[in-house]
Amino acid sequence: VSGPTPPGTAPGLAGIHAGIRACRRCVGAGYLPEAHPVFRGHPGQRWMLVGQAPGPRAHEAGVPWSGASGTLLKAWFARAGFDPDRFLDDWYLTSLTKCFPGKAQGGPGDRAPSRAELALCRPWLDTEIACVQPRVVVTIGRMAAEALVPGAKGTPLRDLVGTVHDVDLGYGPVPVVPLPHPSGVARWLNDPAHRALVDVAMAKLAKLRHGVIS
């Protein structure tokens, strides 16, 4: 893990959240005009969702997955047995970078965080994982899968979605389930074969859910 270490050696989750809310690293480094970290969670949550970065709706609302992508994500999870109305209760919601990076220049969608921004924010994610110790982690998009699944770098999303990886996150092997971004501008989901991979992933997530709650 590169980049600065969050303050404190073993802060509780409230201390970690206070540190993230006060974080201005990307502003100080000149990558963002303003910092508005968006994440949500509480101790004891068994499911962690790691996205790439908040989108504009989450930025405005201050709650992750507030837009149409969140609606589709909840519909996917419902197929794995999760109650959409309990989304915010069941899932610890975080991302590789916690602040909206802005819109992409010259194209649809949001700007992907740079390698430098990823490095600046990564210690927060590592601290969240170490503190919450989720039983299952779901990653959204290729960048998040690459960040958490060893060997995933350069692997096409079609070879990641539908697989489950037992990853040592520092407190034992944890199943990591890669998903694509449930975005209207992501053409990846237009391919029926890709949507079938999401079905496979949801079937595997349903089995993991059964194993965790039973």
| Shortest distance, position 2 Cβ to ligand SF4, whole Å | 12
* CB closer to ligand SF4, 117 vs 146: 117
Q: How far is CA 181 from CA 14, 44, 110, in A?
A: 29, 26, 12
Q: Of 98, 83, 81, which Cα lies nearest the Cα of 40?
A: 98
| Shortest distance, position 204 Cβ to ligand SF4, whole Å | 30
Please say whether the beta carbons of 114 and 121 come within 8 A: no
Instruction: Decide: residue 11, CB within 10 A, 0-12 exposed, 13-18 middle, 19+ buried.
Output: middle
- Left (φ > 0), alpha (ψ -120 to 50) or beta: where does 25 sit? alpha
| Shortest distance, position 10 Cβ to ligand SF4, whole Å | 20
Tokens of 3: 């980049």
| Shortest distance, position 144 Cβ to ligand SF4, whole Å | 14
* CB closer to ligand SF4, 48 vs 197: 48
* CB closer to ligand SF4, 24 vs 158: 24
Residues near ligand SF4 (CB under 6 A): 20, 23-26, 35, 37, 97-99, 117, 120-121, 124
* CB closer to ligand SF4, 52 vs 97: 97
